[in-house]
Chain A
Amino acid sequence: MQNWIQAYSWMNIRFLLMGLGVTVYISVISVILSFIFGSILGIIRYSKIKYVSAIFGFIIDLIRNLPLLLIIFFTYFGLPNFGFKPETIPAAIMAMTIFESTMIAEIVRSGLNAVDIGQTEGARSVGMTFLQSLRYIILPQAYKKMIPALISQFVSLIKDTSLATIIVVPELMQHAQVIYGQNANYILPMFAALAVLYFIVCFSLSLLGNHIDKKLA
């Protein structure tokens, strides 16, 4: 019991919460960036532009099928060979954005495909251009269908930020490791804290997603 009280001293808790702050910061920026890039990529893939869509599609498939950990390593240890050396947090954000954009592109593409083709035909036949029909008719319906998939992708993005600990990004997992590195008695309390903190963040996002989904449906 003594271990638990010491492990949860205010200094340690504050240190963990600072880590949680970095985790949330990386997650929020990566969610926003990968939502933007993922939507663009998904639309490019959906619009069937000759050659362009196929090439983008292939690159998306390549990145999607690699482990995120490899991409994190690549941005942090590989890019300096090309004369560009990012700091740890930007490297993590870059890796997350590259990887998650391709995952979201796939969600966007299948969401767009799930909208009845008659909707596009109808929009085009009343004189809208392809982009207009996409913007006003197809995308709003597609995004509504995508909400559950998008939310679960964002939840896994938050969980995946823990992998960035390998390049010593000062996020939640890393800070927990620093604390239990000082004293083996802190290992169990720290893992309990990690589980609870990650669970609270991820589960509340899932609940929010369900709520939005029900409200719109």
Chain B
Amino acid sequence: MINIITHYGHQLLIGLGWTVLSSVLALFFSLIIGSLFAIMEVLPNKYARVLGRAYVEIFRNIPLLVITMFFYLVIPLYFVKINGFTAGTIGLTLYTSAFIAETVRSGIQSVDPGQMEGARSVGMTYWQSMRQIILPQAFKIVIPPLGNQFINLVKNSSVLAFVAGFDLMYQANSIASATFDTINSYFAVGIMYLIVTLPLSYYMRYLEKKVA
């Protein structure tokens, strides 16, 4: 395994770079999209609620691989040509946004309704109280689960290997087929994943204990 790391360290780091880049981009966009749909789900408007719910249920119940392959194969067929990395990141974003919407929604709903009533009664509009009173409290509650979503995101980004996204998993296969040393290639890549995910997961567990 030391051999693999010394000889292919460069390639492993490139893979790690693409994995982290894709995960961070997907996290950023899925936070925005997820929060929007979470807010839709708690709006007084019935149609907005149904739409928000439908989005979450659809993307939560279809495998990430199907969503990603859809963007990789179907979109170029009818619209524009996109590369594997972009298709993978779009797939990751849509898939994760459904989970984030679910997390943020439960965060919003766990804020005491009295907070909203109080904000409204001092003359704030619905959106003002949402933005300045409810959301800041909700996000504080959902930080540990969001961190866990990010860990899942890093692990899920391995689907990029299906669409030639140059990520860690893709590099693992390329190293394994170059060296015929499958076991050690996978071990080396496993360590690269753990470098990112393991500290994060311990930190999130610490945060969970602190919040509780």
A contact set with B: CB distance below 8 Å = 61-62, 64-70, 73-74, 77-78, 81, 155, 159-160, 162-163, 165-166, 173, 180, 184, 187-188, 191, 194-195, 198-199, 202-203, 206
Contacts and interface: CB of A to CB of B under 8 A. Distances in A.
B183 interface: yes
B159 A163 contact: yes
A65 B151 contact: yes
Contacts of B202: 61
23 contacts: A62-B194, A62-B198, A65-B193, A66-B155, A67-B155, A67-B157, A67-B158, A67-B169, A69-B158, A69-B159, A77-B182, A78-B183, A78-B186, A81-B183, A159-B63, A163-B159, A191-B69, A191-B70, A194-B62, A195-B70, A198-B63, A198-B66, A203-B57
A65 B172 contact: no
Contacts of B17: none
Given A78-B182, A194-B66, A199-B58, A61 B201 contact: yes
A68 B155 contact: yes
Identify the interface centre among B57, B61, B62, B158: most chain A CB within 10 Å of its CB. Answer: B61
Contacts of B42: none
A187 B182 CA distance: 33
Given A77-B186, A188-B74, 18 more contacts: A61-B198, A62-B198, A65-B197, A66-B193, A67-B169, A67-B193, A69-B159, A70-B186, A70-B193, A73-B186, A74-B183, A162-B65, A163-B63, A187-B77, A191-B66, A194-B66, A203-B61, A206-B57
B156 interface: yes
B61 A202 contact: yes
Nearest to A196: B62
B64 interface: yes
Contacts of A195: 62, 66, 70
Interface residues of B, number: 38
Interface of B is mostly: helix
Contacts of B151: 65
Identify the interface centre among B62, B78, B158, B161: most chain A CB within 10 Å of its CB. Answer: B62
Contacts of A62: 194, 198
A196 to B, nearest CB: 9
Nearest to A205: B61
Interface of A is mostly: helix
A74 B173 CA distance: 11
Given A81-B182, A162-B63, A194-B66, A69 B201 contact: no
A165 B156 CA distance: 15
Contacts of A73: 172-173, 182, 186
Given A69-B169, A77-B182, A206-B61, A64 B69 contact: no
Interface of B: 57-58, 60-66, 69-70, 73-74, 77-78, 151, 155-159, 161-162, 169, 172-173, 176, 182-183, 186, 189-190, 193-194, 197-198, 201-202
A64 B65 CA distance: 19
A66 to B, nearest CB: 5
Contact of A191 (B61, B64, B74, B158): B74
Closest 6 CB pairs of A and B: A67-B158, A65-B197, A202-B61, A159-B63, A162-B63, A67-B155
Identify the interface centre among A70, A81, A195: most chain B CB within 10 Å of its CB. Answer: A70
Contacts of B57: 203, 206
B77 A64 contact: no
Contacts of A77: 176, 182, 186
A187 B73 contact: yes
Nearest to B65: A162
Contacts of B161: 69, 166
Identify the interface centre among A65, A66, A155: most chain B CB within 10 Å of its CB. Answer: A65
A191 B161 CA distance: 19
Nearest to B189: A70
